[in-house]
Amino acid sequence: MAGTNWYQNNGCGITSELLCEAKVPLYSLADVQLRFLCPNDLDEVRTLCQDWFPIEYPYYWYEEITSNNSRFFALAAVYNRSIIGLIVAEIKPYDKLNPEDTAILSKSLRNNAQVGYILSLGVAKEYRRNGIASLLLDSFLRNLMTQQKQDVKAVFLHVLTSNAAAIMFYESRRFQLHSFLPYYYAIKGRCKDGFTYVLYINGGYPPRNIYDYIKYMCIAVFRGGGLFPWIIGNISKAIDWIWKGPVHPQQEEQQQQHVVH
């Protein structure tokens, strides 16, 4: 399902939970301050989340995300001394993922890999469509793309299938639909379906399948001028590509230099 656009970008769809209904345009994003949550934010954050999200988080969750706990990346957007948006995310080792999430990475990347998981991203209703959600998301992604975090190969999240506004937002930010999760959420005593969306970073990529292999073969045949030259010259390269993933230009240059020397 990767790469599929579930909703066409022709409006806000059936919900307006995340991005619609802007009522107070900001003069400039420079007026917005970004800072990490602190214990004094607990009551304000809890009130906002209860208003923004259909899921009821336990009280201890609010204590954790506002306690300067190094486990969470809990960033607030502040305007006129009030929190108007926040993102809560964490970095998880691949081997600690839930079973339904383990298929997001290629097998060749799973050893010692980590992934970013977005638990919550929301903006106050009156300040939506001002770029606040993108500002918060970009801050998290920049944090993951530093030299110290190159082992983080993907960022993923779960979203209600009915939340068209959130889905369109993440698709506009190059997140790919990865999987459908039937009855994933329990909201007010009713089961709701969800989607998993993934963004690959730092050289990460999804598991290969037969269609990727066929596509690679067709491209190689076309570039090689025929089937026989491709079979003779590129079969080992195709096998390496399936098991190890594509060789980046920088890696290929290093390999060539090693052969020369």
Q: For 97-116, how does the pLDDT look when each residue is reduced to its tens digit (9 = 90+)?
A: 999 999 999 999 989 999 99
Residue type, 123: V
Average pLDDT for 56-83: 94
Q: What sign does the CA torsion over 65, 156, 199, 9 have?
A: negative
pTM, full prediction = 0.74
pLDDT, tens digit, for every residue of 11-21? 332 223 444 45
Query: Which of these is catalytic: 62, 79, 94, 117?
Result: 117
**CATH, domain range 29-200:** 3.40.630.30
Confidence of residue 242 (pLDDT cuts 50, 70, 90): low
* Closest among 139, 144, 180 to 159, alpha carbons compared: 180
C-alpha–C-alpha distance, residues 103 and 101, integer Å: 6
C-alpha–C-alpha distance, residues 12 and 23, integer Å: 15
Looking at every residue in the chain, the average pLDDT score rounds to 82
The Cβ-side half-sphere exposure at 36, using a 13 Å CA radius, reads 15
Between β-strands 190-200 and 33-36, what pairing exists: parallel, antiparallel or unpaired? unpaired
C-alpha–C-alpha distance, residues 242 and 108, integer Å: 9
Q: Which percentage of the chain shows pLDDT scores above 70? A: 69
pLDDT, tens digit, for every residue of 149-203? 999 999 999 999 999 999 999 999 999 999 999 999 999 889 999 999 999 999 9
Q: What is the pLDDT of residue 148?
A: 95
Q: Which percentage of the chain shows pLDDT scores above 90? A: 62
pLDDT over 90 (residue 239): no
Query: Which of these is catalytic: 7, 57, 158, 216?
Result: 158
34, 37, 58, 141, 256 from 77: Cα distances, Å:
5, 10, 22, 16, 47
pLDDT over 70 (residue 35): yes
**Residue-level length of the chain:** 261
**Is 253 in a helix, a strand, or coil?**
helix
225/6: higher pLDDT: 225
Domain residue spans in the chain? 29-200, 210-260
Active site residue 248: no
C-alpha–C-alpha distance, residues 65 and 45, integer Å: 10
Active site residue 178: no
pLDDT, tens digit, for every residue of 40-55? 999 999 999 999 999 8
Query: Would you state the structure tokens that stand for residue 135, as one six-digit string?
Result: 């500002």
**Is 51 in a helix, a strand, or coil?**
helix
Contact 148, 181 (CB under 8 A): no
Q: Which strand (E) or helix (H) includes residue 159?
A: strand 152-160
The interaxial angle of helices 210-224 and 227-244, nearest 10 deg, is 140
Residue 195 β-bridge partners: 159, 180
